[in-house]
Chain A
Amino acid sequence: MNNSTLYTGIACLLLGMTSCKKDAEAPEAPPVSDLRTYDMVPVTVERIPSGYLLECKRALSDPQAAYAQLLDTDGDPVSRIDFNNLTTTIENITFDRQDITITNVLPWDGSTYLLCGFAIETQHEHRIHAVVYNVDADGAERSDPIRRFIGSGAELLRNNDLNELYRTRVLAAKSTAGDLILAARYETEASARILLMRIPMSTGSLAVTAEVPLSALEHRLQFLKVRPGSDQVLVGMDVASGNEPTVLGISTWSIAEDGLTPGPAGQVGLRKATATAVEEADGTLRITGMYDSGFDEPRTFHGSGPDPGNLSIASVQNEGGHAGISYASQWANGAHHSTLNLFESAVLGPEAERNDRISDLKLGKLSSNGEWSDLETIVPGQGARAIGCYQTATGTVIIGALHPFLNTDYLHTFFLKVQPE
């Protein structure tokens, strides 16, 4: 008991206690109404009708995801799809278990999921195949897995980015006609390329393939999206542009019975531009992401337009010139809701980004010209990194990752609900 406390107590006694009040002003509390954390290392988050789907690594240093975790809308863990229990013999080829890597989980219908990835025949010229499993919410296989050969001499290298996953990856999407679209990025010692495939899941369609070469070995496949109400897909990948060795290129591909044909293409011509959220709604394509404004100076960009060839790109300014990245966004209720992780310094390399424990997590609305409005701090100074941001009837849900207990060797998942305004 310190003196001031004692004196306050004595003063209260003498004054009859009727007028004693605490002298401490209540600090403004962050509008967080619920927070849950889990011992899981999240890589991606996706909203599904029953709640949320998280792809997770077994350990922070792993180069691939190990399981998919389903959460209900309240953030309670529901079921888990463990990638380690999948069949290793696919269409007469038996792979070693460690040579099968799942890189994308695609909700297929209300109760099944397609696990898409690649498998490498390490004994046979490192032939690489795209593989697809059809499983239920508990990981039980609902049908025989399928594979598509995509190349030989496969090399496996990791990205030097936040998640440090294999650069080789297979992304999946469901076309408007109900077919499976795969974009498989792989590399050999000499080159890297993306193979676009349509795998028929409906009657009357045929398998079609197109190959897209990448101009540098380290170029990534960033995203694959089906344009709503059309037979087109958007493919986001690293491209070279002018003096910049790596910017974000967005290409459009039309899916037809006789093949995949390229359509309008565009670029986010900012250094190392990386999309963190791609959405198309109300006839507008919106892309939010990060880029390097100098040397290890990550900043946020926001682009919008009717198609990839007519995107208006804006660089988002942060207060005080600090490094700031929007990792999660969602278009809802006529506004582009985005998170912002605002870092203390202006310079932030990939390792510092991975080890961050002190950034502020903010939430606001991003206008088409890249200006923030209603930006408020949700979790100050704790390095809570958003991965997904979703508007719900009971508030905004942010799912993300943080280093627990001040230990950068570990990563946990958090589920956070912000009170509605």
Chain B
Amino acid sequence: MPTATSLGHKARSWAVRPYFAALLLIPGAIVHAQSNCAQRYDDAKALYDSGDRAECISAITTALDSCGQDREQASRLLFLKALAEAGQDSLDLMRSDLEQLFRTDRGYVIRAYDPLMKGKAGEADLYSAWEILQGDLRKDHGRLRAGIQIGVRDPIISVEGDRRVFETDDPYRYGTEVGYDAGALVEYDLAHNIAVRASASYSVQGWTARNNAIRYDETVTSVPTFLGVKKMFWISERSTWVPYFVLGATYAPIIEAKANIERSGDGVRFLAPKALDRTSERETSQIIGSGVIGVSYKVGHTVLFAEAQYDQAFNSLMPDSPTYSETELLMRYYYVDNQVTLSSIVARIGVQYVVKYHRKNRIYR
């Protein structure tokens, strides 16, 4: 006789069975969808072969609603539909479907000796339309794209002034620390090869000041917001690589500046390393001129890109007329800021999803 515990186990095991069953059905469903689309193609082909092109077109239109994600079957269906339309002298519809065929599979090749097409009504119209389309259809990375980006930010430091507090200290040697940059961007094509880009990111970079006694590190966190114009170069109609450059301006609010300072010990100095927030002693924002070169590559409805950006800062991190405001840094560590400006180079990769295709790039409407 089963105990309560064993009954409980049995109940749970029966409860999970539907999930296993569902998992087992998924590959079957996919195969079924594939075979269903293939079957619908065969059905449409039979209608076409029987000369009932209108029914064939109607069947394919219905089939494309559910087979659009099956690239291979969708291509076959679109070609057959275009052939049927050509046979009925519906040339505009035929051209539109040819264009849709190319958007589905840019590598699709229509051959003059294709037995499916050879000798059929509308053959010449279909083939000539394909030749025209091949020459005129421009590459299209979408009209509206949105995506994310991540990069490595390498600061370039420039310093004005050589203020030092302690007479016996050496002059400072300045350096930088590589940071990162991550954010989101949106691009909208104003014309076929001109787009406007807007982006915003979370950026962290660092700079250092050293001399024989001082070790000063500062990490600056900002939120660069970029607005610029992108020029794309369609170097080859067959190539899916699109080089581009972008010029624009960046406004970067500084949200945090954290510093660490050490004055090396030699038995005289009883100072521990100190960490402090210097946000209030920094400019509230940076104005930056930005230039980008990069290349993008379209895969399906997404655009991958890699680019390098140069940011030229137009103002320094410190206010124009700095006072010696951080008393403890000043009087304990004998450290004082000089005017530091951080420009930078960003190496970045990203991905964009094509939200909307370029209507002007369509030949047939």
Contacts and interface: CB of A to CB of B under 8 A. Distances in A.
Interface string A332-359: 0000000000000000000000000000
Interface string A366-387: 0000000000000111101000
Nearest to A409: B268
Interface in A13-38: 13, 16-18, 20-22, 24-27, 29-38
A354 B279 CA distance: 35
B280 A17 contact: no
Interface in B274-295: 277, 279-281, 284
A412 B333 CA distance: 13
B165 interface: yes
Interface string B17-34: 000000000000000000
Interface string B253-291: 111100000010000111100000101110010000000
Among A29, A34, A382, A419, max chain B CB count under 10 A is at: A29
B327 A380 contact: yes
A10 B223 CA distance: 9
A35 B325 CA distance: 11
B280 A26 contact: yes
B325 A379 contact: no
Contacts of A34: 324
B205 to A, nearest CB: 13
B121 to A, nearest CB: 57
Contact of B279 (A24, A30, A39): A24
Nearest to B280: A26
Contacts of B184: 13
A286 to B, nearest CB: 30
Contact of B280 (A27, A381, A414): A27
A35 B330 contact: yes
Q: Say what secondary structure dominates the interface of chain B.
A: mixed
Contacts of A32: 323-325, 330
A5 interface: yes
Contacts of B263: 405
Interface string B318-340: 00000111011011101010000
Contacts of A409: 268
B167 interface: yes
B56 to A, nearest CB: 50
Contact of B270 (A35, A36, A406): A406
A178 interface: no
A39 B269 CA distance: 13
B253 A20 contact: yes
Contact of A25 (B280, B327, B334): B280
Interface in A22-71: 22, 24-27, 29-39
A8 interface: yes
Nearest to A4: B256
A184 to B, nearest CB: 35
Interface residues of A, number: 44
A9 B332 CA distance: 33
B202 interface: yes
A291 to B, nearest CB: 28
A49 to B, nearest CB: 23
Contacts of B202: 9-10, 12-13
Given A32-B323, A379-B327, A22 B221 contact: no
B168 interface: yes
A407 B268 contact: yes
Contact of A36 (B167, B221, B256, B277): B167
A33 B200 contact: no
Interface string B161-190: 000011110000000000000011000000
B344 interface: no
A115 interface: no
A22 B257 CA distance: 11
Given A22-B253, A32-B330, 16 more contacts: A5-B221, A12-B253, A13-B183, A13-B223, A17-B251, A22-B280, A27-B325, A30-B327, A35-B331, A39-B166, A382-B327, A382-B332, A406-B269, A407-B270, A414-B331, A419-B323
Contacts of A402: 331
